[in-house]
């Protein structure tokens, strides 16, 4: 079964202000320039060769001055206004190889655009050759093997539109407009990770165009180092043109949501911290501080009626002053919606909330962020937590809270307060968290990236040195080739 859909011109993102999943922080400001290896100077003037590239590729080619250039270079996070050298919406793998060969010959960095939803705006970069994978949006399903194969530009909604009617699912993010590859290559913090692991834990195969232009098939028994690296290591190693995902039966989650408001956020956090110390694999939990509504706690369970009732009763007893809203929750293709905006973010992986000093830091951030920013804390447990730290490049193993600070603005004068709130309170969390989900970071320093990957960074750097010694693929949370860091 195969589906193919046209690339949408405009799209949206998660309504984090209405959900109880994920929080807390490492610093990444909307206004930061990318920090990484310095750009290499082109070996020759590429203008003439750009004309030749434009003639050779089958897909749409745009450069500065083209009628659609300014619209095409926009990404979801409007904080980033970047001007690539050229943009190619590749029609096939041959186009991707042509673009990579051009970038390698002229030592021009590559920016890869899948869904265009990167918090850090990495789908576009100044002076880069953008490889746009929007045309790689086919979805095919092998029902007997329970495997879905998706193109590198497929959006979550395009995948779910095919597999949900079949009664199948794989861990994905909550917003249908987000690109599948961008989510999974960074790890993919997802709601049912207690049962099935993260998105990257369900990747069983991939096709990768490496910086030398080779097309490689990746899997447990094929190109094992690269297969390890792309599951959490982001887009550092080339252009992923296909991903193969393990599928699972579609489950209904029974969910309870407690709107707590602004009263005693520290106390609510301590209760939450105690409750998530003992959560089964088939349950989830999140703590949100909405910039207008205040604290919201959510919990959910995928089990039978008796298990659901017992689980939710425990949370109702803990937050007895608030009557929760309770009901079933199933994924939909579109999911949550967050329109294009300007945003500053920071992420952190918190082990627990047992330290009162950490709780106080979070509570102060919440009060200071009223009207400015959101705090999100999402439980990582079960299967995702039990996988060994070094089994994949994704570093967030062990039970913990995958966390995000975010602040958006719509007027230029609101940018500085938003970035300042994220920076200040993200830094305040750092004593309790060095690792982070790299999709929750803006453009980051090398020190921050090394901290985020923890003990997996040295192996990532070795693999990077083998496949991309020139660091052509550096518009990401960049792992420097070993020897250059």
Tell me whether residue 72 is in a domain.
Answer: yes
Question: Which residue's structure tokens are 């918090």?
Answer: 119
Residue 94: CB atoms within 10 Å:
15
Reduced 3-state DSSP string for 340-369: CEEEEEEEEEECCCCCHHHHHHHHHHHHHC
How many domains does the chain contain in total?
3
Tell me whether residue 461 is in a domain.
Answer: yes
pLDDT, average across residues 267-278? 97
pLDDT of residue 403: 97
- Are 314 and 402 members of one domain? yes
pLDDT, average across residues 215-222? 98
Q: Is the pLDDT of residue 20 over 50?
A: no
Q: Domain of 69: which CATH number?
A: 3.30.43.10
**How much of the chain exceeds pLDDT 70, in percent?**
90
pLDDT of residue 46: 67
List, in sequence order, every residue forming a beta bridge with 400; answer none if it has no partner. 380
Residue 27 — very low, low, confident or very high, per pLDDT cuts 50/70/90? very low
- Are 144 and 87 members of one domain? no
- Are 397 and 284 members of one domain? yes
Q: Domain of 297: which CATH number?
A: 3.40.462.20
- Are 108 and 172 members of one domain? no
Q: Is the pLDDT of residue 33 over 80?
A: no
- Are 340 and 442 members of one domain? yes
The reported pTM is 0.90
Give SS3 for 300: strand
Closest CA to 193 of 117, 334, 305, 302: 302
Q: What is the pLDDT of residues 182-216, one digit of tens each?
A: 999 999 988 899 999 999 999 999 999 999 999 99
- Are 145 and 215 members of one domain? yes
| Alpha-carbon 251 to chain mean position | 23
Domain that holds residue 410: 253-446
Q: What is the pLDDT of residues 345-370, one digit of tens each?
A: 999 999 999 999 999 999 999 999 99
């Amino acid at each position: 079964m195969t589906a193919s859909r046209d690339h949408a011109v405009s799209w949206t993102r998660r309504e984090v202000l209405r959900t109880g999943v994920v929080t807390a922080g490492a610093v990444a400001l909307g206004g930061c320039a990318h920090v990484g290896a310095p750009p290499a100077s082109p070996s020759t003037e590429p203008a003439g060769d750009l004309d030749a590239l434009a003639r050779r590729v089958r897909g749409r080619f745009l450069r500065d001055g083209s009628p659609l250039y300014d619209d095409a270079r926009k990404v979801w996070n409007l904080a980033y206004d970047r001007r690539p050298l050229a943009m190619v919406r590749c029609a096939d793998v041959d186009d991707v190889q042509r673009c990579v060969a051009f970038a390698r010959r002229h030592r021009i960095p590559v920016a890869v655009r899948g869904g265009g939803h990167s918090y850090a705006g990495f789908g576009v970069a100044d002076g880069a050759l953008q490889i746009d994978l929007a045309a790689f949006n086919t979805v095919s399903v092998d029902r007997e093997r329970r495997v879905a194969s998706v193109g590198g530009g497929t959006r979550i909604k395009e995948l779910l539109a095919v597999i949900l009617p079949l009664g199948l699912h794989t861990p994905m993010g909550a917003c249908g407009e987000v690109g599948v590859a961008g989510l999974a290559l960074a790890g993919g913090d997802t709601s049912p990770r207690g049962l099935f692991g993260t998105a990257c834990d369900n990747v069983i195969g991939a096709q990768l165009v490496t910086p030398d232009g080779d097309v490689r098939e990746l899997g447990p028994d094929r190109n094992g180092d690269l297969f390890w690296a792309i599951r959490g290591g982001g887009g550092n190693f080339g252009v992923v043109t296909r991903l193969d995902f393990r599928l699972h039966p579609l489950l209904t989650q029974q969910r309870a949501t407690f709107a707590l408001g602004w009263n005693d956020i520290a106390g609510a956090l301590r209760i939450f911290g105690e409750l998530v110390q003992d959560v089964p694999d088939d349950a989830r939990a999140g703590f949100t501080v909405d910039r207008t509504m205040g604290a919201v706690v959510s919990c959910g369970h995928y089990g039978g009626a008796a298990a659901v009732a017992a689980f939710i009763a425990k949370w109702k007893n803990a937050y007895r002053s608030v009557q929760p809203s309770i009901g079933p929750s199933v994924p939909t293709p579109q999911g949550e919606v967050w329109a294009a905006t300007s945003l500053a973010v920071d992420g952190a992986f918190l082990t627990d909330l047992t330290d009162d000093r950490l709780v106080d830091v979070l509570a102060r951030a919440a009060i200071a962020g009223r009207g400015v920013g959101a705090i999100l804390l999402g439980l990582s447990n079960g299967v995702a937590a039990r996988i060994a730290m070094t089994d994949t490049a994704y570093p967030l193993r062990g039970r913990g809270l995958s966390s995000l600070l975010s602040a958006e603005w719509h007027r230029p004068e609101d940018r500085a307060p938003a970035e300042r709130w994220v920076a200040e309170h993200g830094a305040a969390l750092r004593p309790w968290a060095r690792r982070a989900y790299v999709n929750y970071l803006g453009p980051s320093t090398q020190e921050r990236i090394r901290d985020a990957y923890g003990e997996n960074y040295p192996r990532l750097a070795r693999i990077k040195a083998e496949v991309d010694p020139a660091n052509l693929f550096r518009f990401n949370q960049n792992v420097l080739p070993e020897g250059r860091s």
